[in-house]
Amino acid sequence: RKMYRAGICSILSELARQNRLVVVEDITVDAPKTKQLMGRLADLGVSKTLIVTETGDEKLYLSARNLPHVEISDVAGLNPVSLVRYEHVVVTVGAVRAIEEWLS
């Protein structure tokens, strides 16, 4: 368990060092529309993205399910393979707090 947490911590550190980790205040969509989420990701300048939220958001999941290189995860479902697989990782501020709490 300690090695698993240390692995996630080092992967997040490396992502931050390579400027592949993007922290946003909140990433929500008004309605489950793929086009709306694509616009939000284009504004952030990211593609092939893992989006990590504090808790699962159904509208966000429904918006992302048709996008081939976008995955939605909550903090409980975060794993090293997903972190390494995607070019960018977009994390909400609430998720960062939950990850810090989980890793401490």
User: How do residues 35-79 score in pLDDT, each as one tens digit?
Assistant: 999 999 999 999 899 999 998 889 999 999 989 999 999 999 999
Q: Which two tokens stand for residue 77?
A: 């479902």
Report the alpha-carbon distance of residue 82 to residue 89 in Å, rounded. 9
User: How do residues 13-41 score in pLDDT, each as one tens digit?
Assistant: 999 999 999 999 988 888 999 999 999 99
What does the pLDDT read at residue 28?
Answer: 85
- What SS3 string covers the chain? CHHHHHHHHHHHHHHHHCCCEEEECCCCCCCCCHHHHHHHHHHHCCCCEEEEECCCCHHHHHHHCCCCCEEEEEHHHCCHHHHHHCCEEEEEHHHHHHHHHHHC
User: How do residues 83-97 score in pLDDT, each as one tens digit?
Assistant: 999 999 999 999 999
pTM for the model stands at 0.90
